Amino acid sequence: MIQKGYVLEMARYNAWQNNQLRKAVEALGEAAVRQERGAFFGSIFGTLNHLLWADTIWMSRWCSDVPAPGGSIPESAEFTATPGVWDAERFRMDGRIRIWAQTLSNMDLQSVLSWYSGAMGQNVSRRLDHCIVHMFNHQTHHRGQISQMIAEAGVAAPVSDLFIMPEDV
């Protein structure tokens, strides 16, 4: 399905996108990022928290040094207490994702991952490459929602076109 080069590129893209989001959060201020906006996870901050929570749960399945986050999907919107804590944790997770991506081999991508899915309420087994594509797709989905909320709040939305990503990110 995919090769290591895809994972490396998406890890880089994820970090680039989140760096832009951190700047937008700072420009908006805490009150604006916490404002209810009718999104799946309520606010910009709730959606940012959900994404960090989801990335953490996936990484905990792949990396023994990443502890699984507590809570469930509905509780994920409250994963971090403040935008400052979110910023620091997001930065750390993006670095961890990039390090993890570098350790993968194409053979690893063909392996099968088994875990208990709280979302499905059952044990699940899927190929690792399928799960990785899901993680990056999930990020893009919710970052699109965040970008819309940021634009509606009056701050320029991050540039998201992959071909525009700088080489030095």
pLDDT by residue (tens digit) across 78-103?
Answer: 999 999 999 999 999 999 999 999 99
- Quote the longest CA-to-CA distance of the chain: 46
Residue 143 token pair: 């970052």
Contact 1, 129 (CB under 8 A): yes
- DSSP string of 66-118? SPPPPS-TGGGGGSSSSHHHHHHHHHHHHHHHHHHHHH--TTGGGSEEEEEET
**Digit-coded pLDDT (tens) for 28-84:** 999 999 999 999 999 999 999 999 999 999 999 999 999 999 999 999 999 999 999
pTM attached to this predicted model: 0.96
